[in-house]
Amino acid sequence: MVDRLKNRVAFVVGAGCVSEDWGNGNATAVLYAREGARVICVDRSQEAAERTRDLILGEGGTAIALRADIAISSTVSEAVHAGMEVYGRIDILHNNVGILEIGGPEEIGEATWDRIMDVNLKGFYLTSRSVLPIMTAQGGGAIVNISSVASNRWLGAPATTYYASKAAVNQLTQTLAVQYAARGIRCNAVLPGLMNTPMVVEPYRALYGSVDEMIAARDAVCPTGKMGTPWDVAYASLFLASDEAKYVNGVLLPVDGGLSCKCF
Distance CA 169, CA 150 (A): 11
Amino acid letter, 95: N
Residue 211: DSSP 8-state: H
* 246 SS3 class: coil
For residue 180, indicate whether it is catalytic.
Answer: no
Choose among 172, 176, 174: nearest CA to 185: 176
For residue 13, what are the β-bridge partners?
A: 42, 95
Cα–Cα distance, 7 to 92 (Å, whole number): 11
Can you tell me the distance from the alpha carbon of 73 to that of 71, in angstroms, rounded to the nearest whole number? 6
- Marked catalytic residue, from 32, 87, 162, 180: 162
Cite the active site residues. 162
